[in-house]
Amino acid sequence: MTKVVRIVAIIIALGVMTFAGVQLGAYFYNSIEENAVNDELTQIANSPIEIDEGYVWEDIDAKSKAQSYAQRLFGKAAPNQMPTSGKQTKTSIANAQKRKINFPALKQKNKDIIAWISIPNTPVDYAVVKAKDNSYYLSRNAVRKPSKSGAIFLDSAAKSDFSNSDSIVYGHHMKDRTMFGSLASYRYKKYKNEYQYIFVYTPKVTKKYRVAQCFKTAQKKLAPDRSKTQTLTLVTCNDARGKTHYVVRAKLVSSKAPGKK
């Protein structure tokens, strides 16, 4: 009986040792694998910026390595490139005010292009398109090619000349801050003070707006602003599932003929 008990005890001990060995091996394997993933992510974070999905990362380094987003999509039809870094100054605002956009050339690329939007000294500098619905340009760029970054587009129910009391414009929140990925920075007072002005260029007029309000919302359909002053509302996703949105509202400051100071 003693011998049987001893054999059973030895079997149990071997089983425990085997299980512990497997668990220990799995722990070290997972640690090695996790470190490898972290190393890969570090390499990606430190790697040179590359062109992807028909757009480039809009920063100083990207400009030395690739053409701008507009140049890649529109070629010679692209407007002169504005600075995408530094603070807004009287000079950068004046240059934005007198900027001219070649809409006839842009419309040859895509007849849906109805305006151009720019927030001087930030990555926001894009053509604005408008379709029959608000889903078409979620997965297509401004020349109608498939793109995860989509395009910047005006609400399908709005007037193309931005004459509504509230013109709502949508764009994806990209992690590299392209499209409307930089809008969330307006939650910081300093950023809001340094990047107050937004320009919308249409074939007939240049509209200058000043940022007035920034907020998050879980509303599926944003209610338009009904104030007396014309409003420009920029909307982007605030989370990966699109359940909440970040909104920037700006009030019209001036409306002048293209190229006029």
Which of 191, 180, 200, 203 lies closest to 250 in space, CA to CA? 200
Mean of pLDDT over the chain: 79
The listed range with the strongest mean pLDDT (14-23, 80-89, 139-148, 235-244) is 139-148
Write the pLDDT tens digit of every residue in 174-224. 888 889 999 999 999 999 999 999 999 999 999 999 999 999 988 878 888
For the chain, how are helix, strand and coil distributed in percent, rounded to 5? 35, 25, 45
CA distance 35 to 96: 47
In contact, 242 and 180? CB cutoff 8 Å: no
Q: Residue 260 corresponds to which amino acid? A: K
pLDDT tens-digit series, residues 6-28? 655 565 655 555 555 545 454 44
